[in-house]
Chains A and B, each alone.
Chain A
């Protein structure tokens, strides 16, 4: 039987949101609005814009609240421009919020205090931290000095990271000569030498092949379990969040539209199970329709039904008894489909201050 692995690395609890009292990260009504210059294409528009500029306010993040407990692994999901990276940047102290409050380990990130910067790290798949023309070993050494890591501790941590990430060979070659995967592993090693308590990972697996993605996911899970670090991850790869994050936060148009576990999201958005039958031979369509479930596709010897959870057992039993079934699989709807449904159900807010957020059940 095949199905979508929704549990992933950690068996996902139904509802993971912790009590605010035990939280490491608290966000209340966080917003980031940008004022951007607007003009149409063409020379005439360019000349007009010299005399009269048109500005538009983009509400990149528009009032989000959440609470994250120490050691949690959270995935931020959302389409491009939804506000995921902006949120992450505000949590990491790179952007000052337009409104709202953020507390990370008791610090206000925008102040970028020394202790705060010692406690966090941010790794972005599309931005490199490594010194481009020097071997990663030089970046590691620089970080040792910057974070004032005693040399024996540094050696021990580096050995651990080098072993987990398998970068012993590559760390002595100039960063610009490394493959994307090798570079990403070295980025992670450089970012974790100071043993941060909070990891902000912004699309860390972007552009990597499947094997390398899996390898990085394993590393992140191991690091989280070994050191109890809190992980906040954004990714467009569903496999990343499914494997790593017991809790997901879905953001669209700058607002949280879901906060909870993946299985629960799937059940809520697409409660029907997908039942796929492979038959020994082609049979007339009415024989399939006679099963009394919604037949969504039928081609050759393959039929797909969507069925309510409560009706699943009956359908499977009847199909096995009545039809020449050679294989049968039951799965939840694909995550991509679930999210597409969810995004489609939350159009952009018409006006500022309109009611926010589809609250989790």
Chain B
């Protein structure tokens, strides 16, 4: 690779990404009402918070007292709202209806466009998440949050990892729609497991030891519980670093799998008259 190419290629990619992000943000703004209502329907953590704080009224459950449960579920809600994606629905619909052609005709890999569109929605997500965090700190103070600086250094990476992991999984299931019309049902299965195994309804610490040892290394934890654990300062520094490495290995593996399935699936992709 010549020096000029080495310098220009990242610059060209950055320009392209900037354009994709601009359009993605414009689209997210065009859908702002639907988007915000959709975000607000994520109320399960609030229900779980009420339930668990009642359980912990007289005595803590493990390390979790009322305040810890409050902080845990509000952070869970914040992470879910911030790192969500909808690409699996969009992709399966585009494949079914043949509108994927629009992306295939452009000299930009469809995955890059999907990723940019999802990333562009993050600022809008922040608009919902930041007030939630303000409410949390106002209610519970900062006493529940980690005092370890390294946890806070790792948190942005863990949040990005959670976002990228879910996105990669969605891209993989979306790519499977090239083979199988009902691929979206796999995502329903993922969601069913996710509700139990990601820490969405029960902190993973409260699982029985044997089950916890397994769940700790399954991908579900890394899309939700792991960033929350960091913010609360639950894992040791060594365990946090190991978890971060595993999280990004999952991201890499799922993304490569998604890319492979997509490229192969295109060979047999056929939409009649579409």
Contacts and interface: CB of A to CB of B under 8 A. Distances in A.
Interface stretch (B95-103, B213-221, B237-245): B95-103
A96 B266 contact: yes
Contact of B269 (A95, A114, A129, A148): A95
Given A96-B267, A127-B99, A148-B12, A142 B23 contact: yes
Interface in A168-187: 174
A60 B270 CA distance: 11
A294 interface: no
Contacts of A129: 102, 105
Main secondary structure of the interface of B (DSSP, over half): helix
A112 B263 CA distance: 11
B107 A142 contact: no
B30 interface: yes
A119 to B, nearest CB: 10
B150 interface: no
Contact of A133 (B27, B105, B272): B27
Contacts, number: 72
B31 interface: yes
Given A112-B104, A127-B274, A146 B19 contact: yes
Interface residues of B, number: 29
Contacts of A117: 105-107
B272 A34 contact: yes
Contacts of B19: 141-142, 144-146
B108 A146 contact: yes
Given A93-B104, A112-B104, A134 B26 contact: yes
Contacts of B101: 89, 94, 122, 124, 127
Contacts of A112: 104
Contact of A145 (B15, B26, B31, B102): B15
A118 B104 CA distance: 12
Q: Please indicate which of the listed interface residues A34, A60, A89, A118 has the most CB atoms of chain B within 10 Å of its own CB.
A: A89
A85 interface: yes
B138 interface: no
Interface string A68-98: 0000000000000100010001001111100
A110 B269 CA distance: 12
B26 A138 contact: yes
Contacts of B18: 145
B20 interface: yes
A147 interface: yes
B45 to A, nearest CB: 30
A121 interface: yes
B17 to A, nearest CB: 9
A146 B272 contact: no
A94 B26 contact: no
Given A142-B19, A145-B20, A94 B104 contact: yes
A131 interface: yes
Contacts of B105: 92-94, 117, 120-122, 129
A95 B270 contact: yes
A188 B108 CA distance: 20
A290 to B, nearest CB: 53
A148 B272 CA distance: 32
B16 interface: yes
B27 A134 contact: yes
Greatest chain B CB density within 10 A among A120, A121, A145 is at: A145
Contacts of B20: 142, 145
Contacts of A94: 101, 104-105
Interface in A18-46: 32, 34
* 6 closest Cβ pairs, A-B complex: A145-B19, A133-B30, A117-B107, A114-B107, A96-B267, A142-B23
6 contacts: A89-B101, A118-B107, A127-B101, A144-B19, A145-B15, A146-B106
